[in-house]
Amino acid sequence: MSRDRGPRRLRRLDRSALIAASVTALSLTASGCMVVHGEREVLPATTRAEADKALEQFTTAYNAADKAYDSSLDADHVTGALGAIDAARLKAGKTVSPEGNASHTPLKLSDAKYTIPKKAGWPRWFVADARGNKGGDVRWLMVFLRNGLDEPWQVSYLTLVLPGQVPKFKKDADGWAEAIPANSAELAVKPDDLSKDYTAYLKSGGDTFADGTHTSEWRAKREKNAKKPGLVTQYIDEPLTSGDYAPLALRTANGGALVFFSSHHYEKQTAYPGSSVPTPTDDVLALTNGEIKQSLTMEFVANEVAVDPAKGSGDQRVSLLGRIQGLTSAEGS
């Protein structure tokens, strides 16, 4: 059954996890299983064997949900930005094709590489980088997250990146990575500020982000589409940072960080008198409330992955490597 992952629910989970962890301690047993031992212990988030199992469970659940267009089948394995995007996609699919996904092709992930940070407290998380059979010649970059030992591993972030784009990570002698606090001032932009700065950039520009597909080119595309004969399109962008939408950062070998973060976007199309809004696709209509008369407001959730340089290390602009954005709802008026 789908879980409530709203900010209030997430805050309750975080508090429960912190209380539970504060009276116990975290250690790795000989079998590789995790047992809780102390909120202050800095230990690997999981084992490589458990990471492999989490990836397998996610893939199985994702395929089942995609085939049936049933979000209840993978609700325990997705959360955060991916959870919101996935649930809406499956809802639209079920509405359009109640019998299921006739074009379903099972997702297959291979050549998986895991980057597992050592850290204290909850949430615990790790990154999986795998080759997928969908999306072309790209790598599936996923963040697995959980808020307590009684919680399953869930994918909160998913982006597609080209081979070789992911930077090398700083690792200790045992191969464990380093998680960077969201409020770290060691980077050009604090991970906590990336969503806010990114949405501000989309509105007003600036030099915080390097030019590219998800920055300067997206702004140019929006400007081009803002006014067309008989139609005006407005854009509103908001940061998304609470609960399982919070940014997560890994130290790279050069002292910077790879940061995963989320954002919230609205696109409102308004037709001039005597004109009409372009007819939406069936998938958009499936997520639309109200009657589309003169306007259509679409709501999106996106997750991004960015390279955030170390403060003072040459070019201080943040580079976005990838972004996946999905429609989550729409309103006609």
Residue 209: CB atoms within 10 A of its CB come to 22
Please list the pLDDT of the chain residue by residue as tens digits (333 residues).
334 444 334 334 333 333 333 333 333 333 343 444 446 689 999 999 999 999 999 999 999 999 999 999 999 999 999 999 999 999 999 999 999 999 999 999 999 999 999 999 999 999 999 999 999 999 999 999 999 999 999 999 999 999 999 999 999 999 999 999 999 999 999 999 999 999 999 999 999 999 999 999 999 999 999 999 999 999 999 999 999 999 999 999 999 999 999 999 999 999 999 999 999 999 999 999 999 999 999 999 999 999 999 999 999 999 999 999 999 999 999
Instruction: Tell me the C-alpha distance between 83 and 140, whole Å.
Output: 16
Nearest of 118, 119, 114, 87 to residue 2 by alpha carbon = 87
Q: Answer whether 300's CB lies under 8 Å from 328's CB.
A: yes
Tell me how far the alpha carbon of residue 63 is from its chain's centroid.
Answer: 19
Instruction: Tell me the C-alpha distance between 221 and 178, whole Å.
Output: 37
Model confidence, pTM: 0.88
Instruction: Tell me the C-alpha distance between 217 and 211, whole Å.
Output: 7
* Beta-bridge mates of residue 124: 146
**For residue 28, what pLDDT is reported?**
31
Instruction: Tell me the C-alpha distance between 149 and 279, whole Å.
Output: 47
**For residue 245, what pLDDT is reported?**
98
- Write the DSSP assignment of 165-212 as a string of letters: -SPPBPB-TTS-EEEE-TT-SSBSS-HHHHHHHHHHHHHH--SSB-SS
**For residue 17, what pLDDT is reported?**
36
Q: Give the total residue count for the chain.
A: 333
Beta strand 177-180 pairing with 117-119: parallel
The tokens describing 236, both together, are 């509103």
In the block, tokens 């070998």 appear at: 253
**For residue 15, what pLDDT is reported?**
37
Instruction: Tell me the C-alpha distance between 251 and 298, whole Å.
Output: 36
H helix runs in the chain, sequence order: 7-22, 48-68, 80-96, 191-204, 216-225, 282-286
HSE, side-chain direction, 13 A CA sphere, residue 215: 21
**For residue 250, what pLDDT is reported?**
98
> CB-based contacts of 250: which residues, under 8 Å, 6+ apart?
115, 117, 127, 169, 177, 178, 179, 180, 257, 258, 259
**For residue 39, what pLDDT is reported?**
60
**For residue 58, what pLDDT is reported?**
98
Tell me how far the alpha carbon of residue 321 is from its chain's centroid.
Answer: 13
